[in-house]
Structure 1
Amino acid sequence: MKKLVFYSFILLNIWCYGQKKVLQAQLVSQNIIIDGKLNETAWESAPIASDFITLEPDNGKPAPDGKKTEVKILYDNDAIYIGAKMYDDEPSKILKEISQRDNFGTADLFGVFINGFNDGQQDFMFYVSAADVQGDCIMTDANGEDYSWDAVWISKASLTENGWIVEIKIPYSALRFSAENKQTWGINFFREIKRTRYKYTWNFVDRKVGTFTQQAGILSGIENIKPPTRLFFMPYASYYLNAGEGQKTYGTIKGGMDIKYGINDAFTVDAILIPDFGQTKYDDQILNLGPFEQQFNENRAFFTEGTDLFNKGNMFYSRRIGGKPSVEPELNDNEEIAETVQNVNLINALKLSGRTKNGLGVGILNAVTEKTFATIKDTITGETRRTIVEPLTNYNVIVLDQRFRKNSSVTFINTNVIRNGHFRDANVTGLVWDLNTKANTYNLSGNVKYSTINASEDKRGLFSTINFAETSGKYRYSVGSDFVTKDFNPNDLGINFYTNYYSFYGNANYRILNPTKLFNSFRLNYNMYSEFNKDSGKVQEFNIDANVNLSTVKNNYYGMGVTIFPVEMYDYYEPRADGRYIITPKKINLWGSISTNYNHKFALDLNPTLSIADEPGRAAFGVDIGPRYRFNDKLLLTYTFSLLKKNNNKGYIDSYDDDDNEATPEIIVFANRDVITYANTLSGKYAINSAMTFNLAVRQYWSSAENKNILQLDSDGRLDPYPQYTENKNSSFYSWNADLSYSWWFAPGSQLSALYRNNASNFERVIDKDFKRNVTNLLTNDALKHIFSVSVKYFIDYNAVKNKIRKRA
Structure 2
Amino acid sequence: MPSPAARLRFVSCALAALVGLGLPALADDDERPHPEKSVRAVRALTPPKLDGIFDDEVWSEAGRATDFWHLDANNRDPAPATEKTEFQVAYDDEALYIAVMCYDSEPDKIVSRRTRREEEAERDWVRVRLDPHHDHKGGAYFIVGPSGWQKDGVLFDNSWGSDTWNGVWEAETRLSDKGWSAEYRIPYHVLRFAESAEYMWGVTVHRNISRKQEETQWILHREGDGGIASRFGHLTGIEGVSPPTHLEVLPFTLGRSSFAARDDSGSRATDLFGSTGLDLRYGLSSNISLNATFNPDFGQVEADPAVVNLSVFETFFREQRPFFVEGSSVFNMPGVYLFGVTGYSSLFHSRRIGRRPGRFGIPDGAAEISRPDASTILGAAKLSGKTESGMSFAVLETLTAAEYALLEETTTNPVTGKTQRVERDHLVEPMTNHFVARAVQDVGALSKLGATMTAMNGEGFAPAYVGSIDATRRFSEGGARVFGRLAASRNGAFDDRSRGYEGALLLEDWSGTWSGQAYADVRSRGFDTNDLGFTLRSDIVQSGAWGSLVPRRPFFIFRTSMWMVDAHSNWNFDGDRLSRGYGGWGFNTLKNYWESGWAIHRYLDHIDDLATRGGPPMLIPPTWDWRSNIGTDGRRPVKLDAEVSGGWTDGRISTNSRYGVGVELKPASNVQVSIQPSYSTRHDDSQWVENMDADGDGEDDRFVFGELDQDVFDLGVRASLSLTTKLSLQTYLQSFVVNGDYTAFKELAAPRTYSFTRVDQSELSGNPDFSNRSLRGNMVLRWEYEPGSTLFLVWSQNRHGSVDFDNPDFKPLPSVRDSFTDDGEDVFLIKLNYWMGM
Give TM-score scaled by structure 2 length: 0.88
- 1:65 CA displacement: 5.3
For 1:358, the equivalent position in structure 2 comes to 389
- 1:765 CA displacement: 9.3
Conservation of the 8 A alpha-carbon contact between 1:178 and 1:356: no
Q: Does residue 200 of structure 2 align to residue 184 of structure 1? A: yes
Task: Tell me, in whole angstroms, the C-alpha distance in 2 between the residues paired with 1:121 and 1:706.
Answer: 56
Q: Provide, for residues 249-274 of structure 1, a one-character-per-residue CA deviation record: whole Å limited to 9, x for no partner.
A: 34322221111111011111111122
For 1:277, the equivalent position in structure 2 comes to 298
Aligned in 2, Cα 1:80/1:60: closer, same or farther, shift over 3 Å? farther
Q: Does residue 653 of structure 2 align to residue 626 of structure 1? A: no
For 1:701, the equivalent position in structure 2 comes to 736
- 1:639 CA displacement: 0.6
Q: Does residue 349 of structure 2 align to residue 349 of structure 1? A: no
Task: Tell me, in whole angstroms, the C-alpha distance in 2 between the residues paired with 1:150 and 1:504.
Answer: 38
Q: Does residue 716 of structure 2 align to residue 681 of structure 1? A: yes
Aligned in 2, Cα 1:764/1:453: closer, same or farther, shift over 3 Å? farther
Give the 5 Å matches for 1:385-464. Answer: 385-421=424-460, 423-455=461-493, 456-464=495-503
Q: Provide, for residues 584-603 of structure 1, a one-character-per-residue CA deviation record: whole Å limited to 9, x for no partner.
A: 21111111111111111111
For 2:593, the equivalent position in structure 1 comes to 555
Task: Tell me, in whole angstroms, the C-alpha distance in 2 between the residues paired with 1:376 and 1:231.
Answer: 45
Aligned in 2, Cα 1:65/1:508: closer, same or farther, shift over 3 Å? closer
For 2:277, the equivalent position in structure 1 comes to 256
- 1:707 CA displacement: 0.7
Conservation of the 8 A alpha-carbon contact between 2:35 and 2:231: no
Instruction: Find the residue that maps to 1:222 and give its secondary structure.
Output: strand
Conservation of the 8 A alpha-carbon contact between 2:146 and 2:180: yes
Aligned residues: 776
For 1:780, the equivalent position in structure 2 comes to 821
Q: Relative to structure 2, which stretch is displaced further, 680-689 or 206-215?
A: 206-215
Task: Tell me, in whole angstroms, the C-alpha distance in 1 between the residues paired with 2:685 and 2:177.
Answer: 62
- 1:530 CA displacement: 1.2
Q: Relative to structure 2, which stretch is displaced further, 391-400 or 199-208?
A: 199-208
Give the 5 Å matches for 1:261-340. Answer: 261-313=282-334, 314-332=346-364, 334-340=365-371
- AA in 1 matched with 2:703: I
Overall identity of the aligned pairs, in %: 22
Conservation of the 8 A alpha-carbon contact between 1:20 and 1:203: no
For 2:123, the equivalent position in structure 1 comes to 107
Q: Provide, for residues 600-644 of structure 1, a one-character-per-residue CA deviation record: whole Å limited to 9, x for no partner.
A: 111101111021211444111101100122111022221110111
Aligned in 2, Cα 1:440/1:145: closer, same or farther, shift over 3 Å? closer
Aligned in 2, Cα 1:446/1:187: closer, same or farther, shift over 3 Å? farther
For 1:545, the equivalent position in structure 2 comes to 583
- 1:374 CA displacement: 1.9
- 1:328 CA displacement: 4.1
- AA in 2 matched with 1:461: G
Aligned in 2, Cα 1:545/1:447: closer, same or farther, shift over 3 Å? same
Instruction: Find the residue that maps to 1:291 and give its secondary structure.
Output: coil
Aligned in 2, Cα 1:143/1:667: closer, same or farther, shift over 3 Å? farther
For 1:3, the equivalent position in structure 2 comes to none
Aligned in 2, Cα 1:528/1:716: closer, same or farther, shift over 3 Å? closer
Conservation of the 8 A alpha-carbon contact between 2:794 and 2:829: yes
Task: Tell me, in whole angstroms, the C-alpha distance in 1 between the residues paired with 2:636 and 2:700.
Answer: 63
Q: Provide, for residues 24-77 of structure 1, a one-character-per-residue CA deviation record: whole Å limited to 9, x for no partner.
A: 222322212211112212122223222222257644544545412111111222
- 1:660 CA displacement: 6.1
Aligned in 2, Cα 1:371/1:182: closer, same or farther, shift over 3 Å? same
Give the 5 Å matches for 1:668-747. Answer: 668-713=703-748, 714-724=750-760, 725-726=763-764, 727-747=766-786
Task: Tell me, in whole angstroms, the C-alpha distance in 1 between the residues paired with 2:233 and 2:358.
Answer: 50
Q: Provide, for residues 346-373 of structure 1, a one-character-per-residue CA deviation record: whole Å limited to 9, x for no partner.
A: 1111111111222211211000001112
- AA in 1 matched with 2:607: Y
Task: Tell me, in whole angstroms, the C-alpha distance in 1 between the residues paired with 2:308 and 2:355.
Answer: 19
For 1:12, the equivalent position in structure 2 comes to none
Task: Tell me, in whole angstroms, the C-alpha distance in 2 between the residues paired with 1:759 and 1:49.
Answer: 54
- AA in 2 matched with 1:751: T
- AA in 2 matched with 1:521: T
- 1:173 CA displacement: 1.6
Q: Relative to structure 2, which stretch is displaced further, 445-454 or 359-368?
A: 445-454
Q: Does residue 812 of structure 2 align to residue 771 of structure 1? A: yes
Conservation of the 8 A alpha-carbon contact between 2:367 and 2:407: yes
* Structure 1 spans left out of the alignment, 5+ residues: 1-15, 799-809
For 1:217, the equivalent position in structure 2 comes to 233
Aligned in 2, Cα 1:735/1:391: closer, same or farther, shift over 3 Å? same
Q: What RMSD, in angstroms, separates the aligned Cα atoms of the two structures? A: 2.3
- AA in 2 matched with 1:309: V
Task: Tell me, in whole angstroms, the C-alpha distance in 2 between the residues paired with 1:439 and 1:262.
Answer: 31
Aligned in 2, Cα 1:632/1:582: closer, same or farther, shift over 3 Å? same
Conservation of the 8 A alpha-carbon contact between 2:137 and 2:158: no
- AA in 1 matched with 2:382: K
- 1:224 CA displacement: 3.4
Q: Relative to structure 2, which stretch is displaced further, 293-302 or 509-518?
A: 509-518
- 1:430 CA displacement: 1.1
Conservation of the 8 A alpha-carbon contact between 2:610 and 2:617: yes
Aligned in 2, Cα 1:353/1:277: closer, same or farther, shift over 3 Å? same
For 2:3, the equivalent position in structure 1 comes to none
- 1:384 CA displacement: 3.6
For 1:593, the equivalent position in structure 2 comes to 629
Task: Tell me, in whole angstroms, the C-alpha distance in 1 between the residues paired with 2:801 and 2:757.
Answer: 31
Aligned in 2, Cα 1:375/1:82: closer, same or farther, shift over 3 Å? same
Conservation of the 8 A alpha-carbon contact between 1:471 and 1:477: yes
- AA in 1 matched with 2:510: T
Task: Tell me, in whole angstroms, the C-alpha distance in 2 between the residues paired with 1:486 and 1:573.
Answer: 13
Instruction: Find the residue that maps to 1:381 and give its secondary structure.
Output: strand
Q: Provide, for residues 506-559 of structure 1, a one-character-per-residue CA deviation record: whole Å limited to 9, x for no partner.
A: 111111334446332111111111111122x22211121211211122211111
Task: Tell me, in whole angstroms, the C-alpha distance in 2 between the residues paired with 1:441 and 1:65.
Answer: 28
Conservation of the 8 A alpha-carbon contact between 1:275 and 1:346: yes
- AA in 2 matched with 1:702: V
- AA in 2 matched with 1:258: D
Q: 2:832 aligns with which of 792, 795, 800?
A: 792
Task: Tell me, in whole angstroms, the C-alpha distance in 1 between the residues paired with 2:352 and 2:102.
Answer: 46
Aligned in 2, Cα 1:582/1:26: closer, same or farther, shift over 3 Å? farther
Q: Does residue 93 of structure 2 align to residue 93 of structure 1? A: no
- 1:146 CA displacement: 2.5
Conservation of the 8 A alpha-carbon contact between 1:241 and 1:249: yes
- AA in 2 matched with 1:530: S
- 1:446 CA displacement: 2.4
Aligned in 2, Cα 1:792/1:104: closer, same or farther, shift over 3 Å? same
Q: Does residue 236 of structure 2 align to residue 236 of structure 1? A: no
Conservation of the 8 A alpha-carbon contact between 2:484 and 2:505: yes
Aligned in 2, Cα 1:112/1:405: closer, same or farther, shift over 3 Å? farther
Give TM-score scaled by structure 1 length: 0.92
Instruction: Find the residue that maps to 2:211 and give its secondary structure.
Output: coil
Task: Tell me, in whole angstroms, the C-alpha distance in 2 between the residues paired with 1:587 and 1:533.
Answer: 20
- AA in 1 matched with 2:634: Y
- 1:665 CA displacement: 4.5
Q: 1:492 aligns with which of 528, 531, 535?
A: 531
For 2:415, the equivalent position in structure 1 comes to none
Aligned in 2, Cα 1:764/1:335: closer, same or farther, shift over 3 Å? farther
Q: Provide, for residues 412-471 of structure 1, a one-character-per-residue CA deviation record: whole Å limited to 9, x for no partner.
A: 1100000123x1210000112222114543211121111111522111111111111223
- 1:711 CA displacement: 2.1
For 2:10, the equivalent position in structure 1 comes to none
Instruction: Find the residue that maps to 1:183 and give its secondary structure.
Output: strand
